[in-house]
Structure 1
């Protein structure tokens, strides 16, 4: 029986392809961990097994070898049967995992230790696993009454709450399935999933009992950072048991937890609002309602401790959960007494608790039971994770704390083994697991050769081979330069900060860059420059400037350059709505601080964006170096899709989807479309319509621009990259839907690109790394840490800058094109180099990167003067309100202007 609470992947594909004969057995490994770099396990899955996606056809061989470390540690598989129990608290709603863990600890240590010897491991939700069958009277089920000691009686004299827990045996797990699975002899089924879940619960049990935890990470106060606003950062450790080729591994990484600062709740609230006066939390003394609600969103759900006198005269501490904040102070708030009459909150605490408030005008917290408690009587216990979005102004602090150079990160991970203490864990020992702590896994990676890139006529270097993921535009002209037929500049920065001279310097820098890269523009053309007020109506201002350009030059501009002040995001959104949606003209925004006395390199980067927005092509991969993508007998369309969801707690906000695809034979020129859909739904609702639109654009461009005959304009291959999630309907929608619309017979390959994982690569010696200490761009691994049976690989495609680079994980769900491992790895690597906005290879294929950008810019499709709220703050709505709000987002979503539909407006 599969464990409840664990996600189960959906996939396409099903049966394994005819696999070659199995490779040799796993080579013997001398000693533990560390040793010499292991020879890759080259076994191919047995032909009888079924897989979620495509069964591995073989391993890649291209590229130069590179010995690396991976942040994984080998572990043994238990020998004995694992007993699986379902945990149910029938009378309770869903309880927090932290409380569930405390109840299970009390059950095993205090209530029934004779039954739980040795103790079982619990995931905090529905699953408990035991190394031996629990001796229940009726063998399969037992019920227990559990209360948490230490709380004593509550303020009303009632005893501690009793929780009723029922355990039911649901399955026996034979770990032998894992041994067969990692050897390629077992299908990926529920038995395998449940066994992996059990091992994960085993290794997480000890730290989860000791430290604050969050799903798969736990956090300690060994390394902390105060970032203000009532928040602290704690260093944490992520751990996950993963099957790999020939063995089980534990993937360990460092993580970051954002914690509420422990201590008096009053101090926490003052710090969040950046106030020092203890009376600042009084509405009577001027606390704005807006700030009170902002504070309420910040602390709702936080656990606090309140002190009160017990019936025996002793001082007790009771845990409470903050629900909301009162709108008035303790002295002004009154309630009806049980015995009749009313009393203010401040008077109640003075009379019944003998506690006169220091700040009686301050607001109170309302806890889950409905009681009102003054802020000054509440304490925040340590180690509470803030499970809300980090305030935007604190994002840099979090990144600084989380960012570690590769050498330092690996050192922290190895040091973390002492915190994880697998060897000392009673749970790990009793299940018979041994974790190799002698050192991180050593793997033989390969570094792929980058594609050759072609530039345009007049370039001193017509072709270039990137070096560690980067190159430059010196002495190069765009492959196909665009033309600026007319342009103007609108400045939203104050004229005292960005004056006429600054504007002229910017114009000179930009035109010099246009000239260098080949962008054509009219000679002796002086662009109109206008200073405008960002508080005004942006679209009216831009339309007026465009009209003045027509009066001066006889035709409208095809480029509007906009200079933004600091914090000009609202102006940016309005500008993009006007250009992309309303009127259909290219807009290029620049921050005044960036372009003030900017160097030529800055304007060269701006030119990269301008050229593709106007229909040009910056560079293309040389056909000889990426024949899989540019084979004229097999024209190929590459699609990238993504979905972006609203912030946690934001009810009624939609999700946005995007699909991006190339339209040219060189996979360098892309178009995009986006939609609004049901909130937090991963499946793309209109995938058929969006992909049909992309196919139509591809064939139209090939006929109109590349002059291909209609019968050869259609693609023969579709390579579809989806960001992060596998969907069961991909193949059917693409083949039976979008292709059928255009009468296309194309072979489909579907690849899921995963970024949310914790596998990291580290060079074994400094000489093998790049300047940042990371593995070089093009480092690929498809053995040792890859899936035992599925066709997948990890590829680190970009050169490092700050911190430790993250490789992307590629899982092939469906492959009618029967690509070899080398072919898919090389074509994916090539697509990292055609991202138009930079002269560096990027971390994921360009069409997926573009789809991510298009999703994040979905709010540009709404009238900036409209009433829809896009703020990051969470909104709590009931079901009908949320549905009504969602429908308003659907109705008001405006499509792209036809003039922009064939252009890379999103660059």
Structure 2
């Protein structure tokens, strides 16, 4: 394949295009997010409530003093467990309160504590005594040894050093509320958050970042597999345009289902009989979990599972030399089972033939029968959920708007934050009712469909009933392959052709319908795919332009990755995977929308694209980018992250996109392959590919403006987006020979936040098109909330857009209308999406290409042993490249 021409030999842009960002602008001082330039005015006004609670405070002239905390146990080891740390500090305060002259402090559970005003001195050193039983590391009666039994209850000493670290003025919050850029505002807000976290910890809550969860069965939802969803609350102090507020929201985390260990293992492995438990798997799952022993009500940490069963596992038991004897006694060997049944007189019903739990130390085992142990509540589960568990969590976590309002306002009343002595010392009080804000409802954009018809979405939705697609394709050489035993592909073929005809898509009869050979259904996924292609080659005269693939299971099929890789990487065939449960017109229409977009058709356009008359875009060639990074599942530290960028093509359209995808180091959020020169001197990065594609599809015009939508970054990473990613884009332009640069607008979109919007006085979700850019937004930065979609189930979550840079110079109204319109160009759907389509596409592209690696990876490939990952450098594998025939298609759609 010939390489596309380098852009340095292309004609220069017209002089009318102004210079934009210069590379030297990104040198020190670094770029910072811009200030808000104005507020939107368009749209119908609407009264809303939001889950922010107004915070009032005194003069804010106090100072938080930060102190470093070091806790060393009597065996000279630093204490790192948050639970132990809090117990030690609580005991320290009880013992030495007079040393602090009655001053209370907030402890973060790790290495810092904070006070309002200073402590009497800068450095302290204390010895704290904790009873062994108070932090649940007792020996077990199974040891039977009186000497060791005495050790079970001995005290343990901790050396605690407290030393002054820094001052954090509270007035920095007041200054930030006035719109000033103050360095330590976030530090001061973090202290306020730590105060609330400490209060939650004192109530026995599980703390997860800025959320806390109570041990209350009313908050538990069974997800299957021994996993439970636990509802709690998120709380965070935020500076807003109307002052300081406390953002309170309902939050959910996953915990291991508390209760008998045997019940957990049966559920986790989906077996009914303990004899069918896979103990190698159980050993990995149980390690480091906390259990409570029913015979003595003590807690232990599991370090392993015995190799032998309870009635075969011996240990040494010291007994007296006869009744009343004063001698030292003798040592006998006894099984764990016999000890509990005969020496402790505890009836065991099924433990004899099961392994024991080892709750001792590596060189000092301590065995307990399985049926005497129950999992302690509020133990987090941090691994990836299965598809079924995830679906169950989503379904059971939904709350209608009024229900969420009632829960959050009830929590504000119950927790009595105002009574906290540290908040009182700060002069802080928090209102108990939701903040009222004004929103605006933007009108939905008009769409163009087939036959030049206008389509006006209603309540964020439209349909193709009695309508044709705007630009339908023809499908002539195609086939259907069936990996599912329950799908009638002859019926599917007929219905798909009929539905396509109604939508304007001309579909010939498929060249062939291929059923998988029964003998391969138990083979591995790669083998099944290869065997299917052997059948295809034997029945097709040449390569098809399209393949419809029927999978055996929706979303979770292990055939999906190998099938996509074979088609998109090796053969260059566009493919659509389905797993229909019910074949009707709505289902087939949704499938055809994807197929049409993938094969180069267009389902609908914005009417302003068709004119074209999009403000700021019609006059100047404008490229729109959507950027996202997809990371491995929780607990997978050695799975590469996948960075995807989609770029608009065929200006002045903003509905067509091309994707470019690369791998990068695990869990790294900043995209490092936007500009990536290789040894040959040719830029092989993402931007070169997208810029050349834009030029080739836009009448040989280079972009004079680039609008970037970035997903998935937190506020602390905004500067990196400007100073790392934007700098790479500029270097890519330089590498292509550019001397005059386009203007940039950079927008971060966040969905993972906790601000909700509610209708004032109505139980329904806010209507689609709702936008809020006052009161609860940032006091300095340029941000706004938009709910473009219609929330039908649960409570809608608005997208939170942050404008980091705007050299193009959009007015607030024009930018909000553009963002709103980009929620209506998602070709896979006939509903407005909750976040702009370019970001949705980038997410889909990263997700789909990430499937290429899943089935290539071996679970033994990571350098980990015994749960400890070795410190070898991680070599990031490259993604297989897309075949040239599908490279520019919307394969991800």
Same fold, TM-score > 0.5, yes or no:
yes
CA deviations on 1:131-187 (whole Å, 9 max, x unpaired) are 242224xx4444442425753994323323222222122223321221121011x21
Q: Does 1:219 align with 2:205?
A: no
CA deviations on 1:696-725 (whole Å, 9 max, x unpaired) are 55565566555x2x3xx1111111111121
Query: Partner of 1:194 in structure 2?
Result: 187
Structure 1 residue 340: Cα displacement = 9.4
Query: Partner of 2:198 in structure 1?
Result: 205
How far apart are the structure 1 equivalents of 2:493 and 2:169?
71
Query: Partner of 1:599 in structure 2?
Result: 584
Q: Is the 8 A contact 1:66 1:444 kept in 2?
A: yes
How far apart are the structure 2 equivalents of 1:655 and 1:526?
38
How far apart are the structure 2 equivalents of 1:765 and 1:463?
35
Give the SS at the match of 1:389: coil
How far apart are the structure 2 equivalents of 1:14 and 1:701?
23
Query: Partner of 1:788 in structure 2?
Result: 779
Q: Is the 8 A contact 1:229 1:272 kept in 2?
A: yes
Alignment of 1:192-591 (within 5 A): 192-213=185-206, 214-220=208-214, 221=216, 223-227=218-222, 228-275=224-271, 277=273, 280=274, 285=275, 287=277, 291-306=278-293, 317-334=297-314, 345-346=336-337, 358=349, 359-367=351-359, 369-370=361-362, 371-374=365-368, 375-437=370-432, 439-456=433-450, 458-459=451-452, 462-494=453-485, 497-498=486-487, 502-522=488-508, 525-533=509-517, 534-535=521-522, 537-548=527-538, 550-551=540-541, 555-566=542-553, 569-591=557-579
Q: Does 1:84 align with 2:66?
A: yes
Shift in CA distance, 226/613, structure 1 to aligned 2, threshold 3 Å: closer
Structure 1 residue 343: Cα displacement = 6.2
CA deviations on 1:276-309 (whole Å, 9 max, x unpaired) are 55xx2xxxx554xxx324333433332223478x
How far apart are the structure 2 equivalents of 1:612 and 1:571?
23
Q: Does 1:639 align with 2:618?
A: no
How far apart are the structure 2 equivalents of 1:260 and 1:860?
28
Match of 2:128 among 115, 132, 145: 145
Structure 1 residue 265: Cα displacement = 2.8
How far apart are the structure 2 equivalents of 1:582 and 1:630?
41
How far apart are the structure 1 equivalents of 2:730 and 2:772?
31
Match of 2:89 among 100, 104, 108: 104
CA deviations on 1:716-768 (whole Å, 9 max, x unpaired) are 111111112133302210112345325262112222111111000001132xx
Shift in CA distance, 674/705, structure 1 to aligned 2, threshold 3 Å: closer
Q: Is the 8 A contact 1:145 1:164 kept in 2?
A: yes
Shift in CA distance, 149/417, structure 1 to aligned 2, threshold 3 Å: farther
Query: Partner of 1:160 in structure 2?
Result: 155
Match of 2:712 among 724, 746, 767: 724
CA deviations on 1:796-845 (whole Å, 9 max, x unpaired) are 11111211111111122233223332232221111111111001111111
Shift in CA distance, 212/819, structure 1 to aligned 2, threshold 3 Å: same
Q: Does 1:807 align with 2:792?
A: no
Structure 1 residue 526: Cα displacement = 4.8
Alignment of 1:681-760 (within 5 A): 681-689=668-676, 696=688, 705=697, 708=699, 710=700, 713-725=701-713, 726=717, 727=720, 728-738=723-733, 740-741=735-736, 743=738, 745-760=741-756
Q: Is the 8 A contact 2:660 2:689 kept in 1?
A: no
How far apart are the structure 2 equivalents of 1:226 and 1:817?
49
Structure 1 residue 349: Cα displacement = 6.0
Q: Is the 8 A contact 2:225 2:268 kept in 1?
A: yes
Q: Is the 8 A contact 1:304 1:321 kept in 2?
A: yes
Structure 1 residue 393: Cα displacement = 3.0
Q: Is the 8 A contact 2:108 2:198 kept in 1?
A: yes
Q: Does 1:53 align with 2:49?
A: no
Shift in CA distance, 15/94, structure 1 to aligned 2, threshold 3 Å: farther
Give the SS at the match of 2:352: coil
Q: Is the 8 A contact 2:221 2:228 kept in 1?
A: yes
Query: Partner of 1:45 in structure 2?
Result: none
How far apart are the structure 1 equivalents of 2:746 and 2:730?
12
How far apart are the structure 1 equivalents of 2:98 and 2:383?
38
Shift in CA distance, 472/869, structure 1 to aligned 2, threshold 3 Å: farther
Shift in CA distance, 663/354, structure 1 to aligned 2, threshold 3 Å: same
Shift in CA distance, 863/75, structure 1 to aligned 2, threshold 3 Å: closer
How far apart are the structure 1 equivalents of 2:259 and 2:697?
67
Shift in CA distance, 440/869, structure 1 to aligned 2, threshold 3 Å: same
Give the SS at the match of 1:898: coil
Shift in CA distance, 140/270, structure 1 to aligned 2, threshold 3 Å: same
Query: Partner of 2:835 in structure 1?
Result: 844
Q: Does 1:115 align with 2:97?
A: no
Shift in CA distance, 616/259, structure 1 to aligned 2, threshold 3 Å: same
How far apart are the structure 1 equivalents of 2:592 and 2:685?
29
Q: Which one is further off, 808-817 or 837-846?
A: 808-817
Shift in CA distance, 126/820, structure 1 to aligned 2, threshold 3 Å: farther
Shift in CA distance, 679/702, structure 1 to aligned 2, threshold 3 Å: closer
Query: Partner of 1:668 in structure 2?
Result: 655
RMSD: 3.4
CA deviations on 1:102-124 (whole Å, 9 max, x unpaired) are 22222223443552624211221
Query: Partner of 2:601 in structure 1?
Result: 616
How far apart are the structure 1 equivalents of 2:775 and 2:495?
51
How far apart are the structure 2 equivalents of 1:175 and 1:626?
52
Query: Partner of 1:25 in structure 2?
Result: none
Shift in CA distance, 93/849, structure 1 to aligned 2, threshold 3 Å: farther
How far apart are the structure 2 equivalents of 1:879 and 1:293?
19
How far apart are the structure 1 equivalents of 2:850 and 2:617?
38
How far apart are the structure 1 equivalents of 2:612 and 2:858?
46
CA deviations on 1:218-239 (whole Å, 9 max, x unpaired) are 2231623452544444331111
Query: Partner of 2:877 in structure 1?
Result: 890
TM-score between the two structures when normalised by the length of structure 2: 0.84
CA deviations on 1:656-687 (whole Å, 9 max, x unpaired) are 21111111211111111222221111122212
TM-score between the two structures when normalised by the length of structure 1: 0.82
Structure 1 residue 626: Cα displacement = 8.4
Give the SS at the match of 2:644: strand
Unaligned runs of 5+ in 2: 1-20, 140-147, 319-329, 678-682
Unaligned runs of 5+ in 1: 1-11, 18-48, 309-314
Q: Is the 8 A contact 1:183 1:246 kept in 2?
A: no
How far apart are the structure 2 equivalents of 1:13 and 1:102?
55
Shift in CA distance, 212/633, structure 1 to aligned 2, threshold 3 Å: same
How far apart are the structure 2 equivalents of 1:848 and 1:529?
36
CA deviations on 1:179-235 (whole Å, 9 max, x unpaired) are 121011x2141x211111111122332222103222212223162345254444433
Q: Is the 8 A contact 2:749 2:799 kept in 1?
A: yes
How far apart are the structure 1 equivalents of 2:639 and 2:358?
27
How far apart are the structure 2 equivalents of 1:16 and 1:694?
22
Q: Is the 8 A contact 1:52 1:188 kept in 2?
A: no
Q: Is the 8 A contact 2:235 2:246 kept in 1?
A: yes
